[in-house]
Each structure stands twice: as structure tokens, then as C-alpha cells.
Amino acid sequence: MSIGVIDIGSNTLLLLIVDGAGRRVVDLCRFGRLGKGLDATGRLADDAIARSLEICKEYRRVLDEHGVAQPVVIATQATREAANGPEFARVAEGILRAPIEVIAGTREAELAYTAVARTFPELAGTPYVVIDVGGASTELIVGDGARVASAVSVPIGAVRLTERHLRGDPPTPDEARALFADIDAKLAPLALPTSVPIIATAGTATTMAAIELQLATYDPDAVTGYQLAPNVVDRQLAHLLAASVAERKQIVGLEPQRADVIAAGVAIFARAIRRIVAPVLITCDRGIRWGVAYERLSTAGAAGGSPPT
């Protein structure tokens, strides 16, 4: 039994296929950039829709090749926020031959925590904060070592904040200050612990690890569990803000498609580290798509199917 999961995000569309033992069979990332222009218009852009639907067609072919009739498909902030999100979802459902669940931010947070808890069982009993930075939203989940103590989704993300603040190439100091102030204002009212580790999921986080490791070819196992000290995150952010998009595209470990929005994503983590006074940021490739897969594997195991790993 194979399980397919598609995560339709605000920047990327992800396809994960795992076997009945929870082993990765396929793990693909494509850039639909559904969150493009959303902050200003409240709608999904026509070119982003067209690009994302082509990715859906590709993913349907891959699913057919691996014998997955009906994947679990979730969509996040861009689709749930956009006025034309339901229209996009209907067309995508027809292509994927599967229903699309447009999940709430709290559900995103729950899935991110599930993925991290299953990936790092050694952290059981240790308080930490899971942060998932997406294109249009960021989820922050506080774990007390045994369970989720609180979870919140905040409408800040790498695409949204880049479009809102970072118009220069490279950004100006005033633009960077406005970016930081916006992030700080969104984090300030949240009930967050201090002096605990941050577990960072999604593409911005894994890109930070890939840059530090200088990975010419992305390796999910190498970035999962990689530890970044706060000063390293600050150093990366300063470098990214000082570089043009063309210069960022030359950085080893940075996918060119992320070059225009990566600085805003890293800034969210940098400001969260300051807010939490986190001693370390630990990156994790296994985000919400893996949370869905782990849930399905557990359900199959409880029903007498293949047990989860």
C-alpha cells in the first residue's frame, strides 16, 4: 500500500509518496507561486493558477506511474484566503481526480507538529517551538515535551512579506527595517516560551541548512536535524539582504526559484529566534505533507494494515 500526499502551498506544490512502511518513494517540489500578488489583490494570479495546474497534471502522471489512485490533497493559506481559491480548487480536483481539503492554519500547525514529533522522537520530554514558514503564512506550535500547548497561524510568509516590503534589488535598509518591524509586531502578542529550541520546517528552513552545508544537490536527510546557531541565521540574513536576486541565485544550496523571496523567509526565523531567545534552530525536511502521511499510516496500522515506522 502506497500513500500519496499533495500539499498545495502559497509558494510550492509538494508531492510525497510513501510505502506502507513509511519509506519515501517520491518527494517532489515545484514552484507554483500561488501566493503571488495575493496580499495586494486578494486573488490568485492567472499565471500562478496556470502554472500550478500544470504541476497538478505532472503530479497526476507520477501518481499513476506509482499506482496511487487517490492521493490526500491539502491546500493552505493562498487557496483559503483568495476570493477565487474555490474556483482554482475545483479545477485542480478534476485534474488530480481527488478532493482537495482547504485546511485551516491551526490544522497546518497540528500537521507540522506531528511531522516533527515523529521525526525527532529523541525530543520527547523537551519543550520546543515548531515554526513552519510558508509563502503566505507562518505556523508557530509550542510543545511542552509531551503535547501541543498552543498553536497559531500568522499571516506572514516569504512571498507576502517580500511583496509588501522588499521592493529594492537588493532591498534598502529602510525596507529591511520595515520588514523586521512587521514581523516583530505579529510575533509580539503571541504566548511563546523563552530559551527553548526552534524546530524549523518547510522550504526556507531547509534552504538555510542547505546553504550552510553548501549542498549543490539537495539532500533531505542531511538537512533534517542540522543545527544553526542564532549568529549563523543572522549572518545568512545579512548576506541575503545585501545581495541582489541575481547574486542570490549563485549561492550554493539556494534553489534559484527561491532567490527573490528567501530573505523575507529567513527574516521571520531570525526575528523569532530573538523573540524566543532560542539557543539553536534545528531544521527538518519533514513538514506538513509528512504529518498527513504519518496520520494515514497510523490509521492503516490501527485498521490492521501496514504498521507505521
The pLDDT, as a whole number, for residue 160 is 93
Average pLDDT over residues 63-87: 95
The pLDDT, as a whole number, for residue 154 is 93
List, in sequence order, every beta strand (DSSP E) within 164-278: 198-201, 227-228
User: Is 90 exceeded by the pLDDT of residue 109?
Assistant: no
Q: Encode pLDDT of 180-235 as tens digits.
A: 999 999 999 999 999 999 999 999 999 999 999 999 999 999 999 999 999 999 99
For 44, the grid coordinates are 490568485
> What type of residue is 167?
R
Distance (Å) of CA 106 to CA 89, 137, 209 = 20, 11, 26
Q: Give the whole-number percent of the chain exceeding pLDDT 70.
A: 97
Q: Are 142 and 151 in contact (CB under 8 A)?
A: yes
Q: Do domains 3-103 and 106-288 have the same CATH topology?
A: yes
Instruction: Tell me the CATH number for domain 3-103.
Output: 3.30.420.40
Strand partners, 132: 139, 201
Q: Are strands 281-284 and 198-201 parallel, antiparallel or unpaired?
A: parallel
Average pLDDT over residues 129-151: 91
Task: Write down the mean pLDDT value for the chain.
Answer: 93
The pLDDT, as a whole number, for residue 308 is 38
Could you state, in order of their start, the residue ranges of all structural domains in the chain?
Answer: 3-103, 106-288
User: Is 80 exceeded by the pLDDT of residue 300?
Assistant: no
Domain 106-288, CATH homologous superfamily name and number: Exopolyphosphatase. Domain 2 (3.30.420.150)
Q: For the whole model, what pTM was predicted?
A: 0.90
Q: Encode pLDDT of 87-102 as tens digits.
A: 999 999 999 999 999 9
Q: Encode pLDDT of 222-240 as tens digits.
A: 999 999 999 999 999 999 9
